[in-house]
Amino acid sequence: MRSSLTFLFVSIIAGLTLGCEPKEAKKDDASAKAPVEDGTTEESKEDKAEDPGAAAKADTEKKEEAPKTTAEVGKPAPDFTLTDASGKEHKLSDYKGKHVVLEWTNPTCPYVVRHYDAKTMTTTADKSGDEVVWLAVDSSNFVKAEDAKSWKDKHGISYPILLDPSGDVGRTYAAKTTPHMFVVDKEGTLRYSGAIDDDPRGEKKDGATNYISATLEALKAGKEVETSQTKPYGCSVKYGS
């Protein structure tokens, strides 16, 4: 009888010991990081979100994807600031209130040489009057101030030649050739883009139609520009890489 009671007591003590064991293990299991949908733990996901390098890279990519403003007839002309051959700065918006002619040029281009020998540009500029500002722009990657000065002196050019060796302004205006002409009105709207005239080879004996003169006459008279866009001709603009 005594031995039976001893066996029963031992059995009860053993059962109580086994029933208390799982609590600490379950607590430890619950503290482990549960995997999330992408296969990482919550802790590693938080580390990624707080990574400053990743955030900076994302911001840079967004900036690079942002579209650049480009010139378009009928819309505001993109503003710019360039320095001329004498070192003076010219900002397009500073000439608001006057019509502005932009002439993309390159003294080494045969088309430009022909027009300057024929005084096409200088005569048109001189006849345009006080209401008009004429700015030549050289976006050649090899342009130098001293070369622009020599060209200016040789042809008696009265207007400034702006230097754009980076080609940034030329690309903004999508200048394709030398010459390539643009006219901005008094309000700062681009009103013409294209060729200086309709005689690419200089072969018209009866005289060519000068698109710049026609555009300026229409603007001064408060009329619509009949021909606002033409295909420019000449040498390709010598942009750098």
Domains in the chain, start-ordered, CATH in brackets? 35-66 (no CATH), 81-236 (3.40.30.10)
What burial class does residue 149 get, using C-beta atoms within 10 Å of its C-beta: 0-12 exposed, 13-18 middle, 19+ buried? middle
Helices (H) and strands (E) in the chain, counts: 9, 9
- Count the Cβ atoms, other than its own, within 10 Å of residue 119: 13
Query: pLDDT, tens digit, for every residue of 166-198?
Result: 999 999 999 999 999 999 999 999 999 999 999
Residue among 118, 211, 209, 136 at smallest CA distance from 178: 136
Query: How high is the pLDDT of residue 226?
Result: 96
Residue 153's pLDDT band, with cuts at 50, 70 and 90, is: very high
Beta bridge partner(s), residue 181? 103, 194
Query: pLDDT, tens digit, for every residue of 9-39?
Result: 444 444 444 444 444 434 344 333 333 334 3
**Mean per-residue pLDDT, 213-220:** 98
Strand 180-184 relative to strand 99-104: parallel, antiparallel, unpaired?
A: antiparallel
Q: Is the pLDDT of residue 82 over 60?
A: yes
User: What is the Cα–Cα distance from 108 to 103, expressed in whole angstroms?
Assistant: 15
pLDDT over 70, % of the chain: 71
Tell me if 182 sits within 8 A of 101, measured CB to CB. Answer: yes
Residue among 170, 163, 164 at smallest CA distance from 85: 163
Q: Is the pTM of this model over 0.85?
A: no
Query: How high is the pLDDT of residue 77?
Result: 98
From residue 81, give the alpha-carbon distance in Å to each of 17, 19, 84, 92, 182: 87, 84, 10, 7, 16
233 CB-near residues (< 8 Å, 6+ apart): 111, 177, 195, 200
